Amino acid sequence: MPHITIKHFPADLTQEQEDTLLAKVTDAVTGAFGVGEGVVSIALEPVAPEAWDEQVYQPEIAGRRHLLRKKPSY
Protein backbone atom coordinates (compact mmCIF):
# COMPACT_ATOMS: atom_id res chain seq x y z
CA MET A 1 0.00 0.00 0.00
CA PRO A 2 -0.35 2.31 -1.78
CA HIS A 3 -0.42 1.18 -5.41
CA ILE A 4 -0.73 3.70 -8.23
CA THR A 5 -1.57 2.94 -11.85
CA ILE A 6 -0.91 5.68 -14.38
CA LYS A 7 -2.89 5.08 -17.56
CA HIS A 8 -1.71 7.18 -20.48
CA PHE A 9 -1.57 7.38 -24.24
CA PRO A 10 1.47 5.45 -25.51
CA ALA A 11 4.60 7.57 -25.12
CA ASP A 12 8.26 6.88 -25.69
CA LEU A 13 9.71 8.01 -22.39
CA THR A 14 13.44 7.89 -21.99
CA GLN A 15 14.71 5.96 -19.00
CA GLU A 16 15.58 9.30 -17.39
CA GLN A 17 12.03 10.63 -17.91
CA GLU A 18 10.52 7.45 -16.48
CA ASP A 19 12.88 7.49 -13.51
CA THR A 20 12.03 11.15 -12.81
CA LEU A 21 8.28 10.49 -13.06
CA LEU A 22 8.48 7.51 -10.70
CA ALA A 23 10.66 9.38 -8.21
CA LYS A 24 8.30 12.39 -8.12
CA VAL A 25 5.16 10.28 -7.74
CA THR A 26 6.84 8.15 -5.08
CA ASP A 27 7.93 11.29 -3.21
CA ALA A 28 4.42 12.77 -3.32
CA VAL A 29 2.79 9.53 -2.16
CA THR A 30 5.24 8.83 0.66
CA GLY A 31 4.88 12.40 1.90
CA ALA A 32 1.08 12.40 1.76
CA PHE A 33 0.55 9.00 3.36
CA GLY A 34 3.53 9.00 5.70
CA VAL A 35 4.90 5.68 4.44
CA GLY A 36 8.29 4.51 3.29
CA GLU A 37 9.06 4.24 -0.41
CA GLY A 38 9.44 0.47 -0.07
CA VAL A 39 5.67 0.02 0.24
CA VAL A 40 4.79 2.09 -2.85
CA SER A 41 4.21 0.35 -6.18
CA ILE A 42 3.61 2.15 -9.46
CA ALA A 43 2.44 0.76 -12.80
CA LEU A 44 2.55 2.56 -16.13
CA GLU A 45 -0.21 1.34 -18.46
CA PRO A 46 -0.32 2.63 -22.01
CA VAL A 47 -3.80 2.79 -23.55
CA ALA A 48 -4.34 3.43 -27.25
CA PRO A 49 -6.17 6.71 -27.95
CA GLU A 50 -8.98 4.88 -29.74
CA ALA A 51 -9.52 2.68 -26.65
CA TRP A 52 -9.36 5.50 -24.08
CA ASP A 53 -13.10 6.15 -23.86
CA GLU A 54 -14.05 2.49 -23.46
CA GLN A 55 -11.16 1.34 -21.26
CA VAL A 56 -10.49 4.43 -19.13
CA TYR A 57 -12.92 7.33 -19.42
CA GLN A 58 -16.23 5.50 -19.12
CA PRO A 59 -15.35 2.98 -16.39
CA GLU A 60 -12.83 4.95 -14.34
CA ILE A 61 -13.57 8.64 -14.83
CA ALA A 62 -17.28 8.95 -15.65
CA GLY A 63 -18.22 5.76 -13.83
CA ARG A 64 -16.29 6.57 -10.66
CA ARG A 65 -16.60 10.35 -10.61
CA HIS A 66 -17.26 10.28 -6.87
CA LEU A 67 -13.68 9.05 -6.31
CA LEU A 68 -11.93 11.63 -8.49
CA ARG A 69 -9.94 14.27 -6.69
CA LYS A 70 -8.81 15.97 -9.89
CA LYS A 71 -11.19 15.94 -12.82
CA PRO A 72 -10.10 16.29 -16.45
CA SER A 73 -11.15 19.34 -18.43
CA TYR A 74 -12.35 17.32 -21.43
Q: Which amino acid is at 39?
A: V
- Can you tell me the distance from the alpha carbon of 15 to that of 39, in angstroms, rounded to the nearest whole number? 22
Measured at the CA of 27, the angle between CA 52 and CA 60, to 5 degrees, comes to 20
In the annotation, is 2 catalytic?
A: yes
Residue from 2, 46, 49, 59 carrying the catalytic annotation: 2
Catalytically active residues, by annotation: 2
